[in-house]
Structure formats: structure tokens, C-alpha cells
């Protein structure tokens, strides 16, 4: 990967991290409002609250994964499968920039 490609990857990771953090902030605010209004048992909005809490957990995990991907990028191990040491394909990284496993190892582990 040349310097121009490396910079594009870094920018993509940073942009996705920023977007995910912004989404997490919105979800945090929604959940906080729901908690403050004290939705009770049987409230039809309880379903929406559960969805928001699940989305918040997912966003937190994605923030952590993207931060770890940026760390691997800085260490020079970004795009290297953590299981077999092979290269993670460009298409996989395009779809899932925080990928830790190549497609073959991901299929074997069920990820």
C-alpha cells in the first residue's frame, strides 16, 4: 500500500469512527430521555427503548472496534488476519474496515 492509499484508509477509519461516535451520542441522549421519563411496564414505548439500548450497545462495540483498527493501522498490522497472519482482502476491509480476520478465518469462526 503506497502513502496515498494509506492516507485514504486512515481517513476512512477516522471518518467512520467520528460518524459512529456521533450516532452513539444521539442514542445516549435518546436513552437518557427515556430513562428520565421513566417508562414503566406495559408502556408501548418500552419496545423502542429496548431497541435504542441495543443500538447503543452495538455502537459502543463498533467505536471500540474502530479505535482498535486505527491502533493496528498505526502499528502496521492493519489488514493482517489475527488468526492465520494472511492478508485481509481489500473488499472485506471496504465493507468492514474494522475486520480482524480474513474471510476464510471469519467463516471458520462463524463471524
Distance between the two ends of the chain, CA-based, in angstroms? 26
State the average pLDDT over residues 7-16. 93
**Domain assignment of residue 92, given as a range:** 79-111
Do 18 and 34 sit in the same domain of this protein? Answer: yes
**Alpha-carbon dihedral angle through residues 24, 25, 29, 31, given to the nearest 10 degrees:** 20
The total number of structural domains in the chain stands at 2
Do 24 and 55 sit in the same domain of this protein? Answer: yes
What is the share, in percent, of the chain residues with pLDDT greater than 90? 68
CA angle 32, 37, 38 (to 5 degrees): 95
Do 65 and 106 sit in the same domain of this protein? Answer: no
pLDDT in tens, 55-77: 999 999 999 999 999 999 999 99
**pTM, entire model:** 0.81
Do 92 and 61 sit in the same domain of this protein? Answer: no
Who contacts 98 (Cβ-Cβ below 8 Å, separation ≥6)? 13, 62, 65, 66, 68, 69
Amino acid at each position: 500500500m503506497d502513502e496515498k492509499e494509506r492516507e485514504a484508509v486512515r481517513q476512512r477509519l477516522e471518518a467512520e469512527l467520528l460518524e459512529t461516535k456521533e450516532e452513539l451520542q444521539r442514542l445516549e441522549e435518546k436513552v437518557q430521555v427515556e430513562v428520565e421519563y421513566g417508562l414503566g411496564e406495559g408502556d408501548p414505548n418500552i419496545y423502542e427503548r429496548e431497541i435504542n439500548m441495543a443500538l447503543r450497545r452495538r455502537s459502543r462495540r463498533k467505536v471500540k472496534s474502530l479505535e482498535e483498527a486505527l491502533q493496528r493501522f498505526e502499528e502496521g498490522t492493519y489488514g493482517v488476519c489475527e488468526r492465520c497472519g494472511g492478508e485481509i482482502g481489500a473488499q472485506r476491509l471496504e465493507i468492514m474496515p474494522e475486520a480482524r480476520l480474513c474471510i476464510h478465518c471469519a467463516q471458520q469462526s462463524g463471524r
